[in-house]
């Protein structure tokens, strides 16, 4: 038997033989009389007008299943899968504005039929816990409101939330659950419909390098949902000095603004005092935080995904050296912080003096910030180790070279002017006058520190979320 079978295709009942590719299989359902149905998800391309994904079902006889296919079989007598059925409560959250705005069509064309095939249907009634509840975001507050309500629910640990979003959905959930008093954590399943999907790609990274033609990230995500098991999601807590404010993204305007100005956003929606935030991906100060913040203006947004490159080019021209002190605790036994030496400095040609500022300070629990951007190559899925990447005032051109090396499987950490180490806790104290250079980034959220203010980042002891993952 080979991994390429030629059973009949059910859809359209054409009777046409189709190839079943192992990397497209989500799950296999045994039917009556030794038959089986193979559920396959393939990706098309958006440029030629095709749907970027499609669900197909192929029929065949069970005895024909090649060896590699058995692990995808869902037991007939155990449907819906135990981790998705009552008494657990299943919620599906569709974040309509995430990424390329494909979450709704992915739900309708792929997820809903796959849930339906295992006996799970959407319902509208509160209080029912068969089937699943669907939340479709209407605005930027829907996800936060959902997560706050979830946090107040005493039965939160019985819930599984399927998130069709990017990293923003995870952050909203984590922080909405912050004040939950439930003894154990709810479970999430990630369907990567955002732009960067850092957490998803980091959790599934071993699959990308394991085979020459790895399954698509949608197939991996769906396998994690239907066939995965839950593990605690490592989370960090970023604490801030008094006076820190959470700065919301600017309100979207229709009129385009000149995108070439390197000015910081001015029209914040609001600033809210904040003492701490929970995160699962990254806490940063310097170039990364400024880029996340400064690319989030109406002027840049009209340029879609290109906005990061444009904002980066402008920021690098400014060549700002961030005036900060960075300290770490390297082990849990160490009671006090020790200063981190600045790595890589640019010599001022006229005065001969050297700056002591930082260009980049980033603490992370994950390996990747995008599928191919490996910021921390030593990080493994769920290892729960905080790692610090930093470099000094090396100038715009060198910053670009270092960042480019991160796209080569994280080779930047081998460069002499880059510091990279495992740490227990990181503290950044910011001495900048101008609030533009006092922004820190926690998983995409921006916090402004006061002059002389600090951010301290350490792994959170308490379990906050569990994640479904097929390892």
Ligand X SMILES: Nc1ncnc2c1ncn2[C@@H]1O[C@H](COP(=O)(O)OP(=O)(O)OP(=O)(O)O)[C@@H](O)[C@H]1O
Judged by beta carbon, residue 205 or residue 427, the one nearer ligand X is 205
- Minimum CB–partner distance for residue 346 and ligand X (Å): 31
Which of 36, 55, 80, 95 binds ligand X (CB under 6 A)? It is 95
d(CA 281, CA 295): 19
Which of 140, 231, 385, 431 binds ligand X (CB under 6 A)? It is 140
DSSP 7-55: -EE-GGG---B--B-GGGEEEEEE-GGGEEEEEEEE---TTTT--S-EE
Scanning the structure block, which residue is given the tokens 């009949």? 8
Tell me the sheet residues that pair with 34: none
Q: Supply φ then ψ for residue 84, to 5 degrees.
A: -115, -5
Scanning the structure block, which residue is given the tokens 């914040």? 268
**If binding is defined by CB under 6 A, does position 432 make contact with ligand X?**
no
Which of 6, 23, 91, 195 binds ligand X (CB under 6 A)? It is 195
Q: What is the CA radius of gyration of the chain?
A: 24
Which of 80, 169, 250, 395 binds ligand X (CB under 6 A)? It is 169
In this structure, are residues 456 and 238 in contact, taking their beta carbons and an 8 Å threshold? Answer: yes
Judged by beta carbon, residue 29 or residue 103, the one nearer ligand X is 103
**If binding is defined by CB under 6 A, does position 96 make contact with ligand X?**
yes
Tell me how far the alpha carbon of residue 128 is from its chain's centroid: 30
Pairing of β 35-42 and β 54-61? antiparallel
Alpha helices in 153-259 (DSSP H): 167-176, 198-203, 205-210, 217-227
In this structure, are residues 281 and 198 in contact, taking their beta carbons and an 8 Å threshold? Answer: yes
**If binding is defined by CB under 6 A, does position 167 make contact with ligand X?**
yes
- Closest residue to ligand X, Cβ-based? 166
- Minimum CB–partner distance for residue 406 and ligand X (Å): 16
**If binding is defined by CB under 6 A, does position 97 make contact with ligand X?**
yes
**If binding is defined by CB under 6 A, does position 99 make contact with ligand X?**
yes
Which of 138, 152, 306, 451 binds ligand X (CB under 6 A)? It is 138
**If binding is defined by CB under 6 A, does position 297 make contact with ligand X?**
no
Going by C-alpha positions, the residue among 175, 143, 50 that lies closest to residue 443 is: 175
Going by C-alpha positions, the residue among 288, 294, 286 that lies closest to residue 326 is: 286
Contact region for ligand X (CB under 6 A) — 93-101, 117-125, 340-348, 355-363?
93-101
Contact region for ligand X (CB under 6 A) — 84-92, 193-201, 378-386, 458-466?
193-201
- Minimum CB–partner distance for residue 308 and ligand X (Å): 10
**If binding is defined by CB under 6 A, does position 279 make contact with ligand X?**
no
Scanning the structure block, which residue is given the tokens 């610090």? 388
Please enumerate in sequence order all residues whose Cβ is within 8 A of that of 82, keeping only pairs 6 or more positions apart, or say none: none
- Minimum CB–partner distance for residue 194 and ligand X (Å): 2
Written as six digits, the tokens of 312 are: 């980066």
- Minimum CB–partner distance for residue 63 and ligand X (Å): 43
**If binding is defined by CB under 6 A, does position 197 make contact with ligand X?**
yes
In this structure, are residues 398 and 417 in contact, taking their beta carbons and an 8 Å threshold? Answer: yes
Judged by beta carbon, residue 5 or residue 147, the one nearer ligand X is 147
Judged by beta carbon, residue 186 or residue 196, the one nearer ligand X is 196
Angle formed by the axes of helices 167-176 and 142-152, nearest 10° = 40
- Minimum CB–partner distance for residue 77 and ligand X (Å): 37
Tell me how far the alpha carbon of residue 442 is from its chain's centroid: 12
d(CA 44, CA 54): 8
**If binding is defined by CB under 6 A, does position 165 make contact with ligand X?**
yes
**If binding is defined by CB under 6 A, does position 151 make contact with ligand X?**
no
Judged by beta carbon, residue 120 or residue 170, the one nearer ligand X is 170
Which of 5, 24, 137, 245 binds ligand X (CB under 6 A)? It is 137
- Minimum CB–partner distance for residue 354 and ligand X (Å): 36
Residues at the interface with ligand X (CB under 6 A): 95-99, 137-140, 143, 165-169, 194-197, 444
């Amino acid at each position: 038997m080979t991994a390429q079978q030629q059973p009949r295709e059910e859809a359209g009942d054409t009777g046409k033989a189709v190839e079943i590719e192992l990397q497209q299989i989500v799950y296999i359902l045994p039917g009556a009389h030794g038959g089986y149905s193979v559920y396959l998800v393939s990706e098309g391309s958006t440029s030629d007008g095709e749907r970027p994904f499609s669900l197909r079902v192929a029929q065949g006889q069970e005895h024909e299943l090649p060896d590699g296919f058995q692990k995808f079989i869902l037991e007939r007598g155990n449907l819906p899968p135990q981790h998705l059925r009552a008494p657990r409560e299943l919620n599906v959250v569709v974040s309509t504005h995430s990424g390329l705005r494909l979450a709704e069509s992915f739900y309708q064309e792929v997820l809903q039929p796959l849930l339906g095939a295992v006996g799970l249907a959407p319902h509208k009634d509160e209080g029912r816990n068969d089937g699943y509840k669907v939340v479709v975001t209407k605005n930027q507050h829907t996800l936060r409101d959902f997560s706050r309500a979830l946090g107040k629910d005493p039965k939160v640990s019985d819930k599984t939330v399927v998130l069709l979003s990017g990293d923003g959905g995870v952050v909203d959930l984590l922080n909405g659950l912050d004040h939950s008093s439930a003894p154990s954590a709810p479970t999430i399943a990630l369907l990567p419909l955002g732009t960067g999907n850092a957490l998803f790609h980091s959790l599934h990274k071993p699959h990308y390098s394991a085979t020459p033609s790895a399954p698509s990230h949608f197939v991996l995500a769906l396998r994690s949902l239907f066939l995965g098991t839950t593990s605690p999601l490592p989370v960090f807590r970023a604490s801030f000095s008094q006076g820190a404010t959470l700065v919301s993204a600017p309100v979207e305007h229709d009129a385009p603004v000149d995108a070439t100005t390197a000015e910081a956003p001015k029209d914040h929606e609001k600033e809210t005092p904040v003492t701490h935030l929970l995160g699962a991906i990254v806490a940063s100060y310097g170039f990364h935080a400024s880029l996340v913040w400064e690319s989030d203006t109406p002027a840049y947004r009209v340029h879609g995904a290109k906005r990061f490159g444009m904002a980066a080019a402008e920021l690098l021209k400014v060549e700002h050296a961030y005036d900060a002190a960075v300290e770490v605790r390297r082990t849990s036994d160490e009671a006090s912080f020790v200063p981190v030496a600045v790595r890589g400095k640019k010599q001022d040609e006229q005065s001969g003096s050297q700056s002591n500022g930082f260009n980049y300070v980033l603490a992370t629990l994950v390996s990747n910030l995008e599928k191919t951007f490996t910021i921390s190559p030593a990080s493994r899925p769920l290892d729960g180790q905080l790692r610090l990447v930093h470099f000094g005032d090396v100038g715009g051109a060198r910053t670009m070279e270092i960042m480019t090396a991160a796209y080569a499987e994280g080779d930047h950490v081998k460069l002499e002017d880059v510091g990279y180490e495992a740490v227990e806790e990181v503290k950044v104290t910011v001495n900048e006058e101008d609030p533009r250079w006092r922004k820190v980034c926690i998983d995409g959220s921006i916090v402004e520190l006061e002059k002389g203010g600090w951010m301290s980042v350490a792994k959170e002891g308490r379990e906050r979320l569990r994640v479904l993952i097929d390892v």
